[in-house]
Amino acid sequence: MEWISKSNILIVGLGLMGGSYARGLKRLGFHVSAIDTDAASIEYALSEHIIDRGFTQVDEETVRQADAIIFALYPGVFLQWIREYQHLFKPGLRMTDVTGVKRCVVYDVQAALRPDVEFIAAHPMAGREVYGVQNSDDRIFRDANYIVVPTGKNTAGAIGWCAGLGKLLGFRHIAVLSPEEHDDMIGFVSQLTHCIAVSLMTCSDNTHLAEYTGDSFRDLTRIARINETMWCELFLRNREPLLRQMDGFLRELTAFREMLAAGDAEGMKEKMRLSTQRRAMFDKK
């Protein structure tokens, strides 16, 4: 199937991201069903017309009718769900996901799948520091990146289909990376930054300083409000790349500390010039 409105989309896991996909797809004219074990999430989504139909348990008929499935689950439960219900899948079914780590998920899922259906991984980099379908909003895609993460098992058709979903949902930028490239990149731009933000909040009791904080401190720690269950799982499932990124950062900050301790003004200025120059390139993109 291509992305034809009126086709049946099933979203498994109706949190911030599943809910935001649902809003966007329903607005585009798709028929959107959702499964989530949390009754309050399903009730909210139905009452707000975010979805057409919702279930707190797997409804076999809905799985059978699905033309596409979007998995917005924690990585740990995702593979199990597929193993349990793939006998219901329509032949030719295409599936994608929103998981923040790829290497540990995509190969196992593809190995477990029936040969007549296809899973193509994607990562919508549009997380927020709030959670749940109650905070879902498809406008969060507008300034965000969407990464298609194919393996050698994926067809060109499925890659195009998955990129098309990102375009339909209004993502600013669509990219394609391998699972390995994706996980290294995400270890740096997302996971390392969350580790830094958390450590900045926990390294001393700074709550009495709240009234003195300006934009810079607030910007650096905005992501320190963190869903510990989800992020802990993401960190552990991307352990090696993240450890490598943390070590690189720790070495660099320690080197800067040594320059300060030694009064090496020129060394510090050199780092600041490099930092300024690199950061300026980010603002151009």
Minimum gap (Å) between residue 136 Cβ and its own copies = 17
By CB under 8 A, tell whether 112 contacts its own copies.
no
By CB under 8 A, tell whether 282 contacts its own copies.
yes
Interface pattern 179-218 for its own copies (x via CB under 8 A)? ------x--xxx-xxxxxxxxxxxxxxxx-xxxxxxxxxx
Tell me the C-alpha distance between 228 and 230, whole Å. Answer: 6
Please count the residues of this chain forming the interface with its own copies, following the rule CB under 8 A.
87
By CB under 8 A, tell whether 144 contacts its own copies.
yes
Minimum gap (Å) between residue 270 Cβ and its own copies = 8
Return the structure tokens found at 274: 């490099």
The pairing of beta strand 68-71 with beta strand 94-97? parallel
By CB under 8 A, tell whether 131 contacts its own copies.
no
> For 121-146, b where at least 16 C-beta lie within 10 A, e where not — what string?
bbbbbbbeeebebeebebebbeebbb
By CB under 8 A, tell whether 105 contacts its own copies.
no
Residues 255-274 that bind its own copies (CB under 8 A): 256-257, 260-261, 263, 265, 268-269, 271-274
Single out the residue of 33, 156, 40, 11 nearest to residue 98, CA to CA.
Answer: 11
**84 or 258, CB closer to its own copies?**
258
Contacts of 168 (CB under 8 A, 6+ apart): 3, 24, 25, 28
The residue range among 24-32, 51-59, 101-109, 252-260 that interacts with its own copies, by the rule CB under 8 A, is 252-260
Among 127, 137, 150, 154, binds its own copies (CB under 8 A): 127
By CB under 8 A, tell whether 145 contacts its own copies.
yes
**6 or 278, CB closer to its own copies?**
278
By CB under 8 A, tell whether 57 contacts its own copies.
no
Burial of 12 (0-12, 13-18, 19+ CB in 10 A): buried
**107 or 256, CB closer to its own copies?**
256
Contacts of 181 (CB under 8 A, 6+ apart): none
- The backbone region for 172, taken as left when phi is positive above 0, alpha when psi lies in -120 to 50, beta otherwise, is alpha
By CB under 8 A, tell whether 77 contacts its own copies.
no
- Cross-strand partners of 97: 71
**157 or 248, CB closer to its own copies?**
248
Order the strands of the 8-12 sheet from edge to edge. Answer: 53-55, 31-35, 8-12, 68-71, 94-97, 118-119
By CB under 8 A, tell whether 126 contacts its own copies.
yes
By CB under 8 A, tell whether 87 contacts its own copies.
no
Tell me the C-alpha distance between 181 and 189, whole Å. Answer: 12
